[in-house]
Amino acid sequence: MVLPENVSVQYEDARVTVQGPKGKLQRNIRFPGKIINEGNTLKLLNEGNDKNSKALYGLTRSLLHNMVIGVTEGFLKTLKIVGVGYKAQLQGKTLALNLGLSHVVQFPIPEGVKIDVPDPNTIVVGGIDKELVGQVAADIRRFRKPESYKGKGIMYADETIRRKAGKAGIK
């Protein structure tokens, strides 16, 4: 794997540290082979030939690749809110969601994630850790999943909801 110029990777005792212009990520990685850092390239040497070590090789490669992308570019997830009266707003370090419930849902923004609300019906979750960004977006979506009859709820921007016909009615 070729590393960008402004990214450094250190591997000590199953702990990988990737540092770049956007920040620093650390992760424990259980890899049976060797991770070799040579200048601007990172090599993974798989010492086993069984199914488990091949799976761990692919997982480790993917995790390291996502860490490098995170510290150079970052990750974004966009959520749309659909429904009459449904809206989101930032209140300091909390995200307030009006979702048709009897109360306003308060979601505390975790450390390492940046949430932006460009308009009341759009939430943008960003950060350098892909796993954390995806988990926070999924947690926000879980408050009101999109329903299949009217399509109301919180959905990912690129998500399409399969709609149902509903009752035919008396004719």
DSSP character string of 80-100? EEESTT-EEEEETTEEEEE-S
Please, what is the angle between helix 51-72 and helix 130-142, to 10°?
A: 90
Q: For residue 9, give the nearest of 48, 33, 43 by alpha carbon.
A: 43
What digits encode the pLDDT tens for the residues 21-42? 999 999 998 887 788 888 788 8
Cα separation, 90 vs 11, whole angstroms: 38
Proportion of the chain above pLDDT 90, given as a percent = 51
Q: For the segment 57-82, what is each residue's pLDDT rounded down to a tens digit? A: 888 889 999 999 999 999 999 999 99
Count Cα neighbours of 6 within 13 Å in the Cβ-side half-sphere: 10
- The 3-state DSSP class for residue 37 equals strand
Contact present, 113 and 130 (Cβ < 8 Å): no
The tens digit of pLDDT for each residue in 89-109 reads: 999 999 999 998 899 999 999
Domain segments of the chain as ranges? 8-72, 75-156
Query: Do 75-156 and 8-72 have the same topology in CATH?
Result: yes
Distance CA 67, CA 4 (A): 12
CA distance 25 to 44: 19
Q: What is the pTM of this model?
A: 0.86
According to the model, what pLDDT value does residue 30 have?
83
Q: What is the CATH number of domain 75-156?
A: 3.90.930.12
pLDDT band (50, 70, 90) for residue 170 = low
pLDDT confidence of residue 136: 94
CATH number of this structure's domain 8-72: 3.90.930.12
